[in-house]
Amino acid sequence: MQQHIIRTSFALVGIGALALAGCASTSPDASSSSEDHTVSIALDWSPNTNHTGIYVAQELGYFEDAGLDVEILPYASTPVAQLVSAGEADFGIVGQSDVQTARAAGLDVVSVYSIVQSDTGRLVYLQDRDDIESPADLDGAVFGGFGVPLYTAFMKSTIQGADGKGEFDEVMLDTGAYEALKNGSIDFTSSVMTWEDVEAEIEGHPYASFRYQDYGVPEQQAIGIASSDAYLEQNHDDADAFVKAVQKGFQYAIDNPDEAADLLIQANEDTLGTATELVHKSTELMASDGFYYAEGVTLGAAVPEYWEALGDYIIEQGFLVDAGGQKITEAPDWSEYYTNEFVE
């Protein structure tokens, strides 16, 4: 798997790109109101364990039982939020931060199901680096980045949260993260612990890591499913049936992680057939360690406090812009950016 396989877990689209996407946004044609109950969902990357519940629902007939014919659209180069806003997909895999930045920039996108209940991102470095005991030790070091401002902000905030200055050099990775760390071209990078860290451990290259939230970065529900206000208004019953079938699929994955992993692999033999250990270990981690669910939270529901805190952080960092590319300095009504109607 490529090192950046689940980068949309907290990816922030560039300000200019979002402004352009906002201008390109269109509402779905009313004629697309699916009389045959056909529903589409666009993936954010190649199939992985962020998508397990969707494939479980497909393979076990939960969608069919709900009267739906669900088409899972493969990853494309167009941002998923833009596809959903333009009506080219009824639903799509879109992270919390992406919903917040995209909707603020004028796209018609709203979260309907939170797949991952906490941030899976980590600051990672080589496990044998005895000189790194705290994020503060990374002042003056080299960060292997991906050209995403929010990643850089997370790194800076994590270091500052450990009483460091948050000053470091950033280079764009042109090779795998482990290779770059091993050859000394970078000192640290960002990683998705439920996939990339599991993969590194299997390959015998375990990382050491710092969790952003331990150093003051707000929590977030990293990955979710979004739709558009236009689609939900025109297809309320189909949306309700779809989300509830997805919810049932993820509940199955929580209760039966091994079987769910097999179903994900079965549905994607061409891409995951050689990654069975990774898929099983990742699914087990997500099912047992509070990623697919959170105590006291309805499965799939948005947590208002997380949306408000991360939203305020994005504003403070100067990343939230409107459709014209102008910075937003006052928080919008974040409750309009998600709905828990279909998971209650």
Tally of structural domains, the chain: 2
Residue 93 lies inside a defined structural domain of this protein:
yes
pTM of this prediction exceeds 0.95? no
Phi, psi of 290 (to 5 degrees): 80, 25
Q: What is the pLDDT of residues 254-272, one digit of tens each?
A: 999 999 999 999 999 999 9
Residues 229 and 108 in one domain: yes
Of 194, 215, 236, at which residue does a domain stop?
Answer: 215
- The one-letter amino acid code at 210 reads F
Q: What is the CATH number of the domain that holds 235?
A: 3.40.190.10
What domain range is 205 assigned to?
Answer: 121-215
Residue 24 lies inside a defined structural domain of this protein:
yes
Residues 48 and 108 in one domain: yes
Spatial distance between the Cα atoms of 253 and 299, rounded to a whole number of angstroms: 12
User: What's the pLDDT band for 177 if we cut at 50, 70, 90?
Assistant: confident
Q: What is the pLDDT of residues 305-322, one digit of tens each?
A: 999 999 999 999 999 999
Spatial distance between the Cα atoms of 115 and 112, rounded to a whole number of angstroms: 10
192 DSSP β-pair partners: 121
Q: What is the pLDDT of residues 283-342, one digit of tens each?
A: 999 999 889 999 999 999 999 999 999 999 999 999 999 999 999 999 999 999 999 999
Spatial distance between the Cα atoms of 6 and 44, rounded to a whole number of angstroms: 8
